[in-house]
Structure 1
Amino acid sequence: MVATKTAQAEPKRPSNKSDKVVIGLTGGIGSGKSAATNKFAALGIDIIDADEVAREVVTLGSEGLTKITEHFGHAILLEDGTLNRAALRECVFNNSEEKQWLNQLLHPLIRKTMLQQIADSTSHYCILSVPLLVEGNLSELCDRVIVVDCPESMQLERAMQRDGSTKQLIESIMASQATRKERLSAADDVIDNSKTIEFLNKQVIALHNEYSRKYSANNENSS
C-alpha cells in the first residue's frame, strides 16, 4: 500500500525548524493532494495549507496587499478594496521582473505565516500541504515528506475534469512543476492514488497511525 523508503536512515531533522513535527505533503496537479490533506484533517491533524496562506497574506489590510497596491497602483484592487487577482495575473504575465518582485514580496510573508501556524499546532504532528514543496525547497521545514502519486496521464485527465481546463493548459502547468521522478526522489513516504478514494484513505490512515505512534512518544518525551 504505502511505499516508504525503509532502506534509508531516518531523515535528519533540519537545524532551522521548530520543535513541532512537520510532515510535508505534496503532489503534482491532479494527483489527489487535496484529497489526502482532507483525510488527514478529518483524522484531527492540524493542516498548514500553503494555498490558503498565500490568500491570507494579501487580504484586506495586510502588509502584502498594501505593498502590492503601492507598487502596481489602485487599479489592482476591486471596488471593495480587495485584491483583483485577475488584474494581478495580467500585470505579472510574461513579465519576469514584475513576477520576481511579487515573489520576493510574498514568499517571505507566506513562509513567516506558515512557521507561525506550525508553532501554533497542537496535534502530535502537523501536515504542511504545499503544491510546490519540492520546487520551493520547503522540504527543509519538514521531518518527513509524503508524495501523493499517480501516473501523469491520470493527472492530466483528473485535472481537466476537475477544472474544465484545456489539455494544453494542464500540460503547461505540469511542465512548470517538478517531474514525477523529482517528486518521488524527495519522498520519504508515497501514497499511491492510482485507484479509488477508499484506497487513498486507507493509506492515509496507515500513515496517520504510524506517525501518531512515533510522534506522540516524541512529544511526551519533550514535554
Structure 2
Amino acid sequence: MKIGLTGGIGSGKSEVAKRLAARGALVIDADLIAREVVEPGTPGLAEITATFGDTILRPDGTLNREALGRIVFTDPDRLKALNAIVHPKVGARVAELQHTAPEDAIVVYDVPLLAENNLASMYDKVIVVDADDTTRLTRLTTIRGMTPEDAQARIAAQSTREARLAIADIIIDNNGPLSALDAQVAELWHELIHVAL
C-alpha cells in the first residue's frame, strides 16, 4: 500500500511520519533524500552551485540551505530552477527505495510538495497533516528559529491549506498537543492495517 503523507511547513508532518515508522511503516522521506542528492561531491550540488553561485556553500563545502532558501523562497523563477535540479534526482532515488520494499509493506511517502506537484494520483491514500497558519508560524519561529519574514515566505511558497485539504483522503489535525497527535496516529495506523489486509 502506497501512502502519500504531506502537510505545509510547520504542520508536524515529520512527527506523524516518525510515529508511523515506529508502528512499522516503511517511511520514504523526500526531504531526507533531497538532502542526500545535494551532499558534497554529488552532481546535484555541482548543478546547484553552477546555477546559484558559490555563495550558497558553507566554508566546509556543504550546501547552506538557509542562504539558498532566502534566494528561492522569494523568487518563484529561482525556486522553479532549484526544483528542476533536485526533483528528478529525488524521484530516481525514491524509485530505488520502492524496489526494496516488501510486497506487504505499508509504504509512507513523506512528500512536502505533494499538492504543489499534483502527485496525489500516485498514492492509494493521501494523508494531510493540517495546522492553521498561525500555529505553523509560531512553530517555525520558536522551534526552528526562523525569522517571521523567512517563515512567512516559506509558507507563501507552498500550496494553500485549502489546496492540500482538497486532495486529502485522511486529515490529521495537528493544531493541538503531541498527545492528541499520538491518539490520531494510533487510529490511523489501525485503519491502514485494516485496509491493507
TM-score grouping bracket, smaller chain normalisation: 0.7 to 0.9
Matches within 5 A, 1:16-31: 21-31=1-11
Closer, same or farther: CA 208–89 of 1 in aligned 2, 3 Å: closer
- Give the Cα separation in 2 of the matches to 1:22 and 1:57: 23
**Cα displacement (A) at 1:30:** 1.9
Matched, 1:45 2:25: yes
Tell whether the 8 Å contact from 1:135 to 1:177 is kept in structure 2 after alignment: yes
TM-score normalised according to structure 2 size = 0.84
Matches within 5 A, 1:55-70: 55-69=35-49
Please point out which of 114, 136, 144 is paired with 1:155. Answer: 136
What letter corresponds to residue 29 of structure 2 in structure 1?
A: D
Closer, same or farther: CA 97–183 of 1 in aligned 2, 3 Å: closer
**Root mean square deviation of aligned Cα:** 2.6
Matched, 1:107 2:77: no
**Structure 2 unaligned spans of 5+:** none
What letter corresponds to residue 175 of structure 2 in structure 1?
A: S
Match of 1:172 in 2: 153
- Give the Cα separation in 2 of the matches to 1:208 and 1:43: 7
- Give the Cα separation in 2 of the matches to 1:70 and 1:209: 47
**Cα displacement (A) at 1:80:** 4.7
Tell whether the 8 Å contact from 1:39 to 1:201 is kept in structure 2 after alignment: yes
Instruction: Give the stretch that moved more between structures: 167-176 or 25-34.
Output: 167-176
Closer, same or farther: CA 141–151 of 1 in aligned 2, 3 Å: same
TM-score normalised according to structure 1 size = 0.75
Partner secondary structure for residue 65 of structure 1? helix
Tell whether the 8 Å contact from 1:22 to 1:143 is kept in structure 2 after alignment: yes
Matches within 5 A, 1:1-223: 21-69=1-49, 77-78=57-58, 80-85=60-65, 88=68, 99-122=79-102, 124-215=105-196, 217=197
How many residue pairs match? The answer is 196
Q: Which structure would you say has the larger Rg?
A: 1
**Structure 1 unaligned spans of 5+:** 1-20, 218-223
Tell whether the 8 Å contact from 2:73 to 2:154 is kept in structure 1 after alignment: no
Indicate the percent of aligned positions where both proteins have the same amino acid.
41
Partner secondary structure for residue 143 of structure 2? helix
Partner secondary structure for residue 11 of structure 2? coil
**Cα displacement (A) at 1:57:** 0.8
Tell whether the 8 Å contact from 2:5 to 2:127 is kept in structure 1 after alignment: yes
Partner secondary structure for residue 109 of structure 2? strand
- Give the Cα separation in 1 of the matches to 2:151 and 2:39: 28
Instruction: Give the stretch that moved more between structures: 81-90 or 173-182.
Output: 81-90
